[in-house]
Amino acid sequence: MAERFGGKYSPGAPAGHTPDPADGRMVDPVGAKANLMFLPPVVLAFSALRDGPVVLGLSLIGAAMLALGAWLLREGLRAEAAYDARKVARRPALPRKMLAAGLTGIGIGVAAWTGTAGMVGAVIYGVAAAALHVAAFGIDPLADKRIEGIDTFQQDRVARVVDEAEAYLSAMAGQIDQLKDRALSARVAAFQATARRMIRTVQEDPGDLTGARKYLTVYLMGARDASTKFAEVYGRSHDADARTDYEALLGDLETNFTTMTAHLQEGGRTDMDIEIKVLRDRLSREGIKPDTTNS
């Protein structure tokens, strides 16, 4: 992906999951093995309740470190999956998996110190725990990925637009998922896959950014706002007409994004202004008036 490392894993970046490059659907790379890392801090905290205040305090500190390490591990795995899915990416700004390994080692060391291991034993246990953590989950990506022959400025320019687009797509899904309606969630996922095909096209040829910029920023922002508006209305009333209108909007967006992606892949610019005007008018009919001053 022609971008800085983005998503929720870089400073000031948005929340979201990582895209599956095969079909554009959102997947969560965190598995059961990583989720089990939340169990040790719980066990440590409860096991210390019957001990004295000093042991209890140290155990709670160790449990907090283990819990923070488990959380950082989850975020690090998501960051790594996003990095792997992109053709061009910057390494994560914060090495979450390595920090998780360090916190796990410290947490286990503190837990051992409250027992009978002593200082030396606690250090040994802590180092062993950190090493096993690295062996099980690895470390964070340490180098940027870039496409040869494309300058850094152009890749970073695409990165900013793609990060923004991913934020809007994730926000759309979040709004609709709150409705607990599988059909609607699947419909949004289908549109996301269409939008991500355009994103991949721009990643492969950053020169297409000029034509795609409004789609990936202004009109995805409009789609997000329309999703928020629909979720509020449909969540209260389950209005069938509102649902029909929203699904029609998704259909129009999907058609326009598909057509635009085809133009980009063919290297053509014919009728783009007309398509952009049609899409803007469609969003306006939904009461969404996106700001185009920065597009």
Token pair for 3: 């971008």
Nearest residue to 157 via CA among 119, 210, 97, 229:
210
List, in order of start, the domains of the chain with CATH numbers.
23-137 (no CATH), 152-285 (1.20.120)
Tell me 219's DSSP state: I
The β-bridge partners of 27 are 18
Residue type, 228: T
pLDDT in 10s for each residue of the chain, 295 residues: 344 334 444 433 433 444 444 444 445 677 788 889 999 999 988 888 877 888 888 899 999 999 999 999 999 998 888 788 766 667 888 999 999 999 999 999 999 988 777 889 999 999 999 999 999 999 999 887 776 656 666 777 777 888 888 889 989 999 999 999 999 999 999 999 999 888 888 887 777 777 788 888 888 999 999 999 999 999 988 889 999 999 999 999 999 899 888 888 776 544 555 455 566 666 666 665 555 554 4
Contact between 89 and 18 (Cβ < 8 Å):
no
Distance of CA 262 to the CA centre of its chain: 26
